[in-house]
């Protein structure tokens, strides 16, 4: 993991200095538009949900060594992005599962736990079943209609979506030949931020905006780890004030990613 830590340290420098510097590159409109697509074709004025509480992660896989590597990398990624993380014993609110027959298991869950999981979760599953075969990600958001509420010293925006739980389920057969770091980085982005389903991700990302989300749709040309833009997206999402517009988040991410690419 030494190389990965070096990369993370270099990126930390990029997001703490160039983003605030007067000579930072301007936001790139093509990259901003790409970011809005990557986040699920969200409107510029839309809101991007994020974890409401510190991340408590559970990784479930038959290969225990793989699970350990993935868990350590995801926690590392999350902390680098400014996400609060709980270590040790805690009640998991994020799950990564590498399993056989992911579609079958998710369909069984859908049929058996209809009332428990709620309509929003079921709608996400139905949309994924129509197109996805390898990687499935879903979030359980809560709209804060009863606010304003004070959380971690900040006054919440009424109607601001938050996520209480998130899961990524990956078909084990689809992981053959993939590096554990790739799997962890793909899962990190899909756990912690809104993302488009893999089958709907457009090709030919603009310069400075390649993404690990392409891992299961174009594995031959997919990056070896989260890209500068992926990390800038996560960092911007968790650094910006709650309720910031999607365009504002992506504009910041664009500046950070382009500054890093130019180093």
- Per-residue pLDDT tens digits of the chain, which is 263 residues long: 433 333 333 333 333 333 343 345 567 899 999 999 999 999 999 999 999 899 999 999 999 999 999 999 999 999 999 999 998 899 999 999 999 988 888 887 777 655 545 565 677 777 778 778 888 888 877 654 444 444 444 444 445 568 888 989 999 999 999 999 999 999 999 999 999 988 888 888 888 788 999 999 888 888 999 999 999 999 999 999 988 999 999 999 999 998 876 54
Q: In sequence order, what are the residues at sequence separation of 6 or more whose Cβ sits closer than 8 angstroms to the Cβ of residue 247?
A: 32, 36, 44, 45
**Side-chain-side CA neighbours of residue 246 (13 Å):** 23
CB atoms within 10 A of CB 191: 26
How far apart are the C-alpha atoms of 118 and 110, rounded to whole Å? 10
**d(C-alpha 53, C-alpha 185), whole Å:** 21
Q: Are strands 161-171 and 135-143 parallel, antiparallel or unpaired?
A: antiparallel
Indicate the domain borders of the chain.
Answer: 47-244
What pLDDT shows up at residue 94?
94
Enumerate residues 6+ apart whose C-beta is below 8 A from 146: none
Count CB neighbours of 195 within 10 A. Answer: 23
Question: 79 to each of 47, 56, 75, 235, how far by Cα in Å?
Answer: 22, 12, 6, 10
pLDDT at 77: 98
Q: What is the CATH number of domain 47-244?
A: 3.40.390.10
Q: Where are the alpha helices (DSSP H) in the chain?
A: 2-16, 29-38, 64-80, 102-112, 114-129, 180-192, 228-239, 246-261
């Amino acid at each position: 993991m030494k190389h990965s830590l070096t990369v993370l340290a270099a990126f930390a420098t990029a997001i703490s200095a160039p983003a605030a510097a007067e000579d930072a590159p301007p936001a790139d409109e093509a990259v901003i538009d790409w970011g809005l697509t990557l986040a699920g074709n969200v409107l510029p004025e839309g809101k991007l949900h994020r974890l409401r509480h510190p991340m408590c992660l559970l990784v479930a896989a038959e290969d225990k060594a793989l699970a350990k590597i993935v868990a350590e990398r995801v926690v590392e990624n999350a902390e680098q992005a400014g996400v609060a993380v709980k270590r040790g014993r805690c009640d998991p609110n994020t799950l990564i599962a590498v399993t056989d027959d992911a579609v079958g298991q998710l369909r069984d869950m859908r049929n058996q736990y209809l009332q428990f999981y709620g309509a929003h979760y079921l709608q996400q599953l139905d949309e994924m079943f129509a197109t996805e075969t390898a990687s499935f990600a879903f979030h359980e958001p809560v709209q804060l209609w009863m606010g304003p509420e004070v959380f971690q010293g900040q006054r919440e925006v009424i109607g601001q979506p938050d996520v209480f739980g998130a899961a990524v389920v990956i078909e084990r057969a689809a992981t053959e030949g993939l590096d554990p770091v790739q799997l962890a980085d793909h899962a990190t982005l899909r756990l912690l931020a809104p993302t488009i389903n893999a089958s709907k991700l457009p090709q030919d990302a603009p310069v400075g905006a390649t993404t690990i989300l392409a891992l299961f749709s174009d594995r031959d040309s997919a990056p070896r780890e989260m890209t500068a833009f992926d990390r800038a997206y996560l960092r911007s999402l968790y650094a910006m004030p709650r309720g910031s517009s999607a365009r504002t988040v992506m504009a910041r991410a664009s500046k950070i990613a382009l500054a890093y690419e130019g180093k």
